[in-house]
Amino acid sequence: MSIQLALFYFFAAVAVGSALAMVLNLRNTVASAMSLVITMVSLAAVYVLMDAFLVGALQIMVYGGAIVVLFVFVVMLLNLRQDDFPPPRQRFVKALGTLLVLFALGKLVAAVPGALPEAVARLPEGFGGYRDVGTALFTRFLLPFEATSLLLLAALVGAVVLAKRRLD
Amino acid sequence: MDLVVDLSVVLFAIGVVGALVRRNVIVILMSVELMLNAVNLAFVAFSRMHGNNDGHVFVLIVITVAAAEVAVGLGIVISLFRNRDTVNVDDVSLLKW
Amino acid sequence: MLNEGVHTSELLRLIPLFPLAAAVFHGVMIGLLRRPLPRAGVIAVSCGAVLLSFGVAILALGELLSYPVESRVLVDDLYTWVGAGRFVAEASLLFDPLSAVMSLVVTGVGALIHVYSIGYMDDDERDDKGFQRFFCYLNLFMFSMLMLVLGDNLLVLFLGWEGVGLCSYLLIGFWYGDEWNAYCGSKAFIVNRIGDFGFLVGIFVLFAALAQVGHPTVEFREIQTAIGLLADRTVAMPWGGEWKLLTLVGVCFFVGACGKSAQIPLYVWLPDAMAGPTPVSALIHAATMVTAGVYMVCRMSFLYAAAPGASAVVAWTGALTALVAATIAVAQTDIKKVLAYSTVSQLGYMFVAAGCGGYSAAIFHLGTHAFFKALLFLGSGAVILAMHHEQDTDKMGGLARYIPKTHRVFGVGVLAISGFPLLSGFFSKDEILLSAFAAEQIPGHLWLYGIGLGTAVLTAFYMFRVHFRTFYGECRAPAELRSHIHEPANTVMYPLYVLAALSVVAGLLSPPQLWGDLLGIARSNSLHHFLEPALSRGAVHTVEHSVEWLLVALAVSAFVVGAGLAWWMYVRSPEIPGRIRERAAGLYRAVANKYWVDELYDTVLVHPLVAVSDRVLYRGIDAAGIDGVVNGSAAAVRALAARGLKYAQTGLTQSYLFFMIVGALAMLGWMLRSS
Amino acid sequence: MIAETIGKILFVLLVVMGAFLPLITWVERKQSALIQDRVGANRADLAGITVLGLLHPLTDVLKLFAKEDFVPEGANRVMHLLAPVISLVPAIVMLAVVPFAGVYDFGGERPFSFVIADVDWGLLFVFAVGSIAAYGTVISGWASNNNWALLGSLRASAQMISYEVTMGLSVVGLFMCFQTLSLQEMSLAQDSTFRLLGFLEHFGVVDTLPAWLGWLQLPTWGIFLQPLGFVMFLTCIMAENKRPPFDLPEAESELVAGYHLEYSGMRWGLFYTAEFLEVPVIGCIVTAAFLGGWSIPFLDTQTLISGIGGTFGTGFATGLALVLQLLAFLAKVIVMIWLQMTIRWSLPRFRYDQVMDLCWKILLPLSLANVFVTGAVILWMKELGA
């Protein structure tokens, strides 16, 4: 087992574990968010293991540094100390859905090995670096990029309008 | 690579289950983020597999979309909490027969 | 595209452009901006546009004349209108001698009538919007008419054809506040649509046949070169028997012409069209639009020359129309109705000529008729203005004392239409009668000639009858009105003078060979020679000069008889008409009631059609069938949703999510089913 | 390779954590005393020897360890414990990409680069790690079960997210100038000079600059190429550190002590350690990015080595260059620390709305304009063939 594989197993285990912790932690939303951060960071590590340096760094910056902080911020703003919800409705549907998902999960996980093509033996120079990804983003994918900027603007306006206390 | 894709599947499934089972809107949004992350992971894996940067570009775009989604989603959560004093999705069921 | 002997000239596009621009301008001002211009502005724009068109048309004529006779064709390609595979229709304009004559008549008479309208519409009680709206429609009509006469192919021609129909409708119903006017407009439009349908069928049949022989085209000169390929084709008719293809096409086209040019059986709309303002009657329903059918037949002369059967239909229909309309005109008392039936009758004349192969005679009469009939209409309009919108000759009489100038110019028109020697109508009518007399290829051509001659007698009679009843004898108008009778404004009178002069001299511009020799005019028959390259020769038979002189004598005597009879009956001993009315009461009622044709159409066609539409199509198929299906499906969905489906909408986000996941998994499973 | 890395790590920990950190607490006290016209820390003594108060850091540590490790009632124990650690770790980890000295060829397999992890995306790493630091404050406030602490961490999280955005944008101009994200490469690029009036030649005002004007030179440092970027970056990174005048999250007069209100003993000490540690770390990063890093102004490495190497041999010269440039770096860092302390002790605290306005209404548009202008100028220079 190479160091890389070992690291991958480690981070994968951390990611899955913390993701489960996020979903299963029924009482503390902030703890859920922190579990999510750990998932994000381990995923960033996995990205780096796969030579996706830029994406890894951005993963931490955006997901870890901004998105989840926003979650925590909102939780704190609303001052939700504990989830003490009444008993859930639709238990049956939820249980069924969970089972279905788990079943599909099993099928898929079993289906993946052998279904994928071989990875290329040699990566091109600068793969995953900010230069190459940036060049692709600003040349071939310029239109999606610009569309994203528009989306962000819309989201910005939408969020402000939604969160504003009163429109005046 | 198989392992990475499997990891992606597992994370995605966890996200789905979370979104399906949890009743706290914020946690549901987090689960959605988790699903997006799983997809990103798959993108990165495929990108690595083909030795091609396009997947990374997609990931960047997905991250952007996720940020936008969270901004709007949390805005909705805040206004929901202001108006209904709850973050329980089961309580938000006015739009029905 | 045939381009030998064809010249390109970008002048042509200017001719229809000016009226179009003016119409659009007016439309934008009143329709979009709701800012009607002051009258002076409207006048400047509209009349200016038409005068500019007239000027450009003269320039184009000059350019045309600068080329040798065999290559006198100007073309202006604007753009490709329709391009579908091998079928290409250009939006292009054609200016050959025929178009030249037509566009000069249209713009010239049109310009005069625009000027006349200034004075005529001035007392219109409506707001300025109505004034501008009127000129907007007039300009739009000018544009459409010019597109019709300048079109280089059947499609452009048809565009103009429909355009003038629309403008006719708009202008007949111009005073739509009166329901009768609106009804007349609709009637004109609907009757025209029937003709247009025939015209369209003709276009389709012709196009399909041309496509079969490898020439999918609608362009006139290309059709002309390809028409020979179709000469032997026949078509099985639904009622058995076979027609020559070209005959079928010619008859179909003539149905269109019947609609537009008010021939039997589709003439009924034209007398009712007199509900419009008088300048409209003069411009559209006498001088220009109604001649579109004649123009179209002449434009397709190569087709009619190759289809004697169709030509015979044209000639005989024209002759019958001429006679019937003339007899109706005899008994009408409304001054404009008389003129309307006279127009129908004169159009019949033109079709007689066209059917008999005398295309240039038809165009000649078209031109002279445009002058004197416009003169007559405008003159009657002047009378109507003077009488404060009274149209019934029963309430006129003795007006010569009050409005002498109008009396004199109207008299010129009457003389011209009746065939007073050496005036325009005399020459052009002569030519028509001559071509009918000589047309041996038409069965019963001598009968045609006889009918024509009889119609000439009637024409002279009813025209003088109107003249005498209006201007001579005792004034039958109420006393308080009598003191207000006055000559109209100058803008009304000047166009009349110009038209009167034209009615007098137009014939002398192109007298027949016979008279040219006699009067020492070198350019005899010049119009015929000018038009020759654009028209098919047809089967023209020459007659001896001595026979021709005999025909002239007959024509002159027809005038004398008709005019004399009218003088005898309405001036010398005015009690005679009453006696005749009593003696032949049945005949008189038939004539005065226009042979009950309108009533017949109403009973036989309109009422059954309306009944079927209402009972079967509307209540049966539309309301019960189609609406039933639509409403029923909605009701079914509603019932289904209310009973069960609505419970799927729980309002719980996660149940929606659950179903979404189930669907996604199902799709995933389906995609992975092979592996 | 591994030995080399461990050596570097040890060096960094020794110098920065071992020497700088205690000294900074002392210097801070001394400087504040100076500014406020006091005597300052001078009491702690070891057998009567005070050594200018230099013993204070030691006594501080002892005191903190000795205090009660208190966890308030209703607090989330795990998170309460975790928060100070999360605050501290990023500050230390950031040092991994700081180039303390240049790249030297000692004839080994590969040249020696005085940076622990010479990654290609160094500054990006700084941002990524820095963004994690926000959790320390956020969680501490949440876990304490105290309203003041919660308010403090609310402020902290909003402030840190906001300034992160602007911080990232303010250095984009720098990336464009140096065409790299690696701090070591940036330092290398800053190891030269440019003629101050050289642009006159580009514009064709003069064919060649007169020799005496050509002597008017400046190092190609970020601060000279991106003066606006430098000011904005410094502002943002200081706001990230939440020290005065940006200490809204712990504003004593409003929130008692802000997010670490319920902390005591060494847990509290860790927060303070993080805050003090960030001062030299900020100094390091700003130095590397904007102040030419380890380069000695007007004396680029090549000249240095060849100048000394002529007399003493290249190997010695290279080693000497390493030492000199390391000293140059540290000197610049010390200047930056001094600057931060001066600011911290001379400016009053902002109001919260002022902090946010400064970020979103002034710095953000300015940084965007900076990016735009920089891009335009770079394109223009290319056009001119420079």
Token pair listed for D99: 């180039």
- Does the pLDDT at position A85 exceed 70? no
**Among C448, C442, C205, C223, CA closest to C311:** C442
Q: Residue C89 phi/psi, 5° resolution?
A: -120, 115
* Amino acid sitting at position C448: L
Reduced to 3 states (helix: H, G, I; strand: E, B; else coil), residue C83 is: strand
Does the residue C78 lie in any domain?
yes
State the Cα angle at C6 between C4 and C7, rounded to 5°.
140
State the Cα angle at C36 between C33 and C37, rounded to 5°.
120
Helices (H), chain D: 2-12, 21-35, 56-66, 77-94, 122-143, 147-170, 172-178, 183-189, 199-202, 211-214, 222-225, 227-241, 252-255, 265-290, 301-312, 314-346, 352-357, 364-384
Reduced to 3 states (helix: H, G, I; strand: E, B; else coil), residue D195 is: strand
User: Given this model, what pLDDT does residue C1 score?
Assistant: 43
Dihedral sign from CA coordinates of C478, C484, C489, C490: positive
Total domains, chain C: 3
Does the residue C482 lie in any domain?
yes
The answer on C617 and C522 residing in a single domain is: no
- Does the pLDDT at position C2 exceed 60? no
Residues facing C455 on adjacent strands: none
Q: Nearest by CB to B96, from C651, C654, C661: name it.
A: C651
Q: How confident is the model at residue A87 (pLDDT cuts 50, 70, 90)?
A: low
**Pairwise CB contact (< 8 Å): D121 & A130:** yes
Residue C621 belongs to what domain range?
596-671
**Among C505, C279, C500, CA closest to C405:** C500
**Pairwise CB contact (< 8 Å): B16 & C658:** no
Q: pLDDT by residue (tens digit) across A110-121?
A: 776 766 777 777
Rounded percentage of chain C residues whose pLDDT exceeds 90: 24
**Among D124, D140, D127, D162, CA closest to D81:** D140
Q: Where does residue A143 rank: exposed (0-12), middle (13-18), buried (19+ CB within 10 A)?
A: exposed
Does the residue A93 lie in any domain?
no
The answer on C361 and C220 residing in a single domain is: yes
Token pair listed for D369: 């304009």
Does the residue C159 lie in any domain?
no
Does the residue C406 lie in any domain?
yes
User: Given this model, what pLDDT does residue C19 score?
Assistant: 93
**Pairwise CB contact (< 8 Å): A90 & C668:** no
As a whole number of angstroms, the distance between CA C531 and CA C359 comes to 9
Report the DSSP pairing between strands C7-8 and C74-84.
parallel
**Residues sharing a CB contact under 8 Å with residue A34, sequence separation 6 or more, in sequence order:** A72, D79, D135, D139
Average pLDDT over residues D99-116: 77
Shortest Cα distance, chain B CAs vs residue C657, angstroms: 7
The answer on A74 and A150 residing in a single domain is: no
Residue A4 belongs to what domain range?
1-83
A69 in contact with chain B, both atoms CB, cutoff 8 A: no
> Between residues C199 and C443, which one has the greater pLDDT?
C199
Intra-chain end-to-end CA distance of chain A, in Å: 64
At least 3 CB pairs under 8 A between chains C and A: yes
Q: pLDDT by residue (tens digit) across C366-387?
A: 999 999 999 999 999 888 888 8
Rounded percentage of chain C residues whose pLDDT exceeds 70: 97
Intra-chain end-to-end CA distance of chain D, in Å: 40
Rounded percentage of chain B residues whose pLDDT exceeds 90: 1
- Does the pLDDT at position D207 exceed 90? no
Residues facing C82 on adjacent strands: C89
Residues facing D299 on adjacent strands: D296
Token pair listed for A44: 């960033």
Cα of C60 vs its chain's centroid, Å = 24
Q: Are B68 and B58 in contact (CB under 8 A)?
A: no
**Residues sharing a CB contact under 8 Å with residue A109, sequence separation 6 or more, in sequence order:** B6, B9, B10
Does the residue D5 lie in any domain?
no
User: Given this model, what pLDDT does residue C128 score?
Assistant: 58
Q: pLDDT by residue (tens digit) across B10-40?
A: 888 888 888 887 778 888 888 888 999 999 9
* DSSP string over D121-176: THHHHHHHHHHHHHHHHHHHHHHTT-HHHHHHHHHHHHHHHHHHHHHHHHTHHHHH
Tally of CA atoms within 13 A in the half-sphere of C160 that contains its CB? 28
- Does the pLDDT at position C142 exceed 90? yes
| CATH code of A25's domain | 1.20.120.1200
Q: Are C265 and C102 in contact (CB under 8 A)?
A: no
Q: Are D15 and D92 in contact (CB under 8 A)?
A: no
The answer on A69 and A141 residing in a single domain is: no
Does the residue A100 lie in any domain?
no
User: Given this model, what pLDDT does residue C32 score?
Assistant: 83
User: Given this model, what pLDDT does residue C344 score?
Assistant: 92
Q: Are B11 and B34 in contact (CB under 8 A)?
A: yes
Does the residue A44 lie in any domain?
yes
Rounded percentage of chain D residues whose pLDDT exceeds 70: 96
Final residue of a structural domain among A33, A65, A83: A83
**Among C136, C436, C155, CA closest to C315:** C436
The answer on C113 and C188 residing in a single domain is: no
Q: Identify the DSSP state of C219.
A: B
Dihedral sign from CA coordinates of C15, C16, C17, C18: positive
User: Given this model, what pLDDT does residue C675 score?
Assistant: 54
* Peptide bond preceding D57 in cis form (omega within 30 of 0): no
The answer on C552 and C659 residing in a single domain is: no
User: Given this model, what pLDDT does residue C197 score?
Assistant: 92
Does the residue C662 lie in any domain?
yes
C176 in contact with chain B, both atoms CB, cutoff 8 A: no
Final residue of a structural domain among C542, C570, C590: C590
Shortest Cα distance, chain C CAs vs residue A109, angstroms: 13
> Between residues B84 and C500, which one has the greater pLDDT?
C500
pTM: 0.57
**Pairwise CB contact (< 8 Å): D135 & A37:** yes
Chain A residues within 8 angstroms (CB to CB) of chain D: 28, 30-31, 34, 37, 41, 44, 53-54, 56-58, 60-61, 64-66, 69-70, 72-73, 75-77, 79, 129-130
**Chain B: touching chains (3 or more CB pairs < 8 Å):** A, C
Q: pLDDT by residue (tens digit) across D312-332?
A: 777 778 888 888 888 888 888
Does the residue D373 lie in any domain?
yes
Total domains, chain D: 1
Final residue of a structural domain among A65, A83, A101: A83
Q: Are C85 and C142 in contact (CB under 8 A)?
A: no
As a whole number of angstroms, the distance between CA C11 and CA C302 comes to 27
Does the residue D103 lie in any domain?
yes
* Peptide bond preceding C574 in cis form (omega within 30 of 0): no
Does the residue A130 lie in any domain?
yes
A78 in contact with chain C, both atoms CB, cutoff 8 A: no
**Among D252, D261, D251, D254, CA closest to D144:** D261
Does the residue D341 lie in any domain?
yes
The answer on A2 and A74 residing in a single domain is: yes
> Between residues C117 and C397, which one has the greater pLDDT?
C117
Chain A residues within 8 A of C672 when measuring between CB atoms: 107, 111
The answer on A10 and A74 residing in a single domain is: yes
Token pair listed for B44: 């990165």
Total domains, chain A: 2
As a whole number of angstroms, the distance between CA C592 and CA C338 comes to 11
User: Given this model, what pLDDT does residue C320 score?
Assistant: 92
Least confident of C123-137, C657-671, D56-70: C123-137
- Does the pLDDT at position C391 exceed 50? yes
> Between residues A95 and C165, which one has the greater pLDDT?
C165
Calculate Rg over the CA atoms of chain C: 29
Token pair listed for D342: 């001066």
Q: Tell me the angle at which helices C335-355 and C359-386 cross, rounded to the nearest 10 degrees.
A: 180
The answer on C452 and C353 residing in a single domain is: yes
The answer on C215 and C115 residing in a single domain is: no
Does the residue D24 lie in any domain?
no
Shortest Cα distance, chain A CAs vs residue C646, angstroms: 17
**Among A23, A17, A24, CA closest to A42:** A17
In order of start, what are the domains of chain B with their CATH numbers? 2-89 (1.10.287.3510)
Helices (H), C472-603: 479-482, 490-509, 513-519, 526-531, 545-567, 576-583, 585-592, 597-601
Average pLDDT over chain C, rounded to an integer: 86
As a whole number of angstroms, the distance between CA A49 and CA A4 comes to 7
Kindly identify which residue of chain B lies nearest to residue A91, measuring between CA atoms: B21
Q: How confident is the model at residue A81 (pLDDT cuts 50, 70, 90)?
A: low
Q: How confident is the model at residue C148 (pLDDT cuts 50, 70, 90)?
A: very high
Average pLDDT over residues C457-484: 85
Q: pLDDT by residue (tens digit) across C215-258?
A: 888 888 888 888 888 888 888 888 877 888 888 999 999 999 99
Residues facing C242 on adjacent strands: C236
**Among C141, C131, C153, C24, CA closest to C76:** C153
Q: Which helix (H) or strand (E) holds C243?
A: strand C242-244
Q: How confident is the model at residue D386 (pLDDT cuts 50, 70, 90)?
A: low
Does the residue C173 lie in any domain?
no
- Does the pLDDT at position A168 exceed 60? no
User: Given this model, what pLDDT does residue A90 score?
Assistant: 64
Q: pLDDT by residue (tens digit) across D166-199?
A: 888 888 888 888 888 888 888 888 887 777 776 6
> Tokens 């960071």 correspond to what residue?
A41
Helices (H), C173-266: 179-212, 220-226, 245-261
Rounded percentage of chain D residues whose pLDDT exceeds 90: 1
- Does the pLDDT at position C538 exceed 60? no
Average pLDDT over residues C395-406: 84
The answer on C501 and C396 residing in a single domain is: yes
- Does the pLDDT at position C54 exceed 90? yes
Token pair listed for D55: 């013993």
The answer on A68 and A4 residing in a single domain is: yes
Least confident of C13-27, C358-372, C583-597, D282-296: C583-597
User: Given this model, what pLDDT does residue C224 score?
Assistant: 86
Q: Residue D43 phi/psi, 5° resolution?
A: -95, -40
Average pLDDT over residues C529-542: 72
B92 in contact with chain C, both atoms CB, cutoff 8 A: yes
Q: Nearest by CB to C651, from B20, B28, B95: name it.
A: B95
The answer on A78 and A19 residing in a single domain is: yes
User: Given this model, what pLDDT does residue C57 score?
Assistant: 92
Average pLDDT over residues D321-347: 86
Helices (H), chain B: 2-21, 25-50, 54-84
Token pair listed for C419: 């065939």
Residues facing C236 on adjacent strands: C242
User: Given this model, what pLDDT does residue C53 score?
Assistant: 93
Token pair listed for D341: 């302390």
Residue D95 belongs to what domain range?
67-384
Does the residue A2 lie in any domain?
yes
> Between residues C130 and C356, which one has the greater pLDDT?
C356
- Does the pLDDT at position C585 exceed 90? no
Does the residue A70 lie in any domain?
yes
Does the residue D47 lie in any domain?
no
Q: Nearest by CB to A101, from C650, C654, C661: name it.
A: C661
